[in-house]
Amino acid sequence: MSVKPAPASPLFAGPFALATLSAPDGPAFPALVTPRERVVDLRDALDDERLTVRRLLANWPAVLPRLRSLAGDDALAHRSLAQFQVHAPVEPRQVFQSGANYRQHVIDLHVAHRAPGDDRPKDERRAEAAKIMDRRTTEDLPYVFIGLPSAITGPYDDVVLPGWAKKPDWELELTAVIGRPAHRVSVEEALDHIAGYTIANDLTDRATVFRRDMPQIGTDWLRSKNAPGFTPLGPWIVPAESITDPDDLRLVLKLNGETMQDESTKDMIFNVARMVSYASQSARLLPGDLVLTGSPAGNGMHWGRLLRDGDVMDGSITGLGAQRTRCVTEAA
Q: How confident is the model at residue 167 (pLDDT cuts 50, 70, 90)?
A: very high
Residues 6+ apart with CB under 8 A from 123: none
How high is the mean pLDDT of the chain?
Answer: 93
Please tell me the predicted confidence (pLDDT) of residue 103.
Answer: 84
Is residue 317 within 8 A of residue 199, CB to CB? The reply is: yes
> Is residue 32 predicted with pLDDT exceeding 70?
yes
Please tell me the predicted confidence (pLDDT) of residue 9.
Answer: 63
Q: How confident is the model at residue 74 (pLDDT cuts 50, 70, 90)?
A: confident
Is residue 311 within 8 A of residue 255, CB to CB? The reply is: yes
Q: How confident is the model at residue 75 (pLDDT cuts 50, 70, 90)?
A: confident
Please tell me the predicted confidence (pLDDT) of residue 199.
Answer: 98
Please tell me the predicted confidence (pLDDT) of residue 1.
Answer: 67
Please tell me the predicted confidence (pLDDT) of residue 108.
Answer: 76
What does the pLDDT average to over 181-199?
98
What does the pLDDT average to over 28-50?
95
What does the pLDDT average to over 296-325?
96
Please tell me the predicted confidence (pLDDT) of residue 43.
Answer: 96
- CA–CA distance, 61 with 114 (Å, rounded to integer): 47
Kindly provide the b/e burial profile for residues 298-320, where b requires at least 16 CB atoms within 10 angstroms of the residue's own CB: bbbbbeeebbeeebebbbbbbbb
More confident residue, 73 or 76: 73
More confident residue, 120 or 61: 61
Is residue 57 within 8 A of residue 91, CB to CB? The reply is: no
Q: How confident is the model at residue 332 (pLDDT cuts 50, 70, 90)?
A: low
What secondary structure, in 3-state letters, does 92-125 show?
CCCEEEEECCEHHHHHHHHHHCCCCCCCCCHHHH
What does the pLDDT average to over 215-231?
92
- CA–CA distance, 160 with 169 (Å, rounded to integer): 12
What does the pLDDT average to over 306-311?
98
- CA–CA distance, 292 with 289 (Å, rounded to integer): 10
Q: How confident is the model at residue 70 (pLDDT cuts 50, 70, 90)?
A: very high
Q: How confident is the model at residue 7 (pLDDT cuts 50, 70, 90)?
A: low
Q: What is the pTM of this model?
A: 0.92
- CA–CA distance, 98 with 108 (Å, rounded to integer): 16
Domains of the chain: 17-86 (no CATH), 95-329 (3.90.850.10)
Please tell me the predicted confidence (pLDDT) of residue 8.
Answer: 67
Please tell me the predicted confidence (pLDDT) of residue 212.
Answer: 83
Please tell me the predicted confidence (pLDDT) of residue 5.
Answer: 78
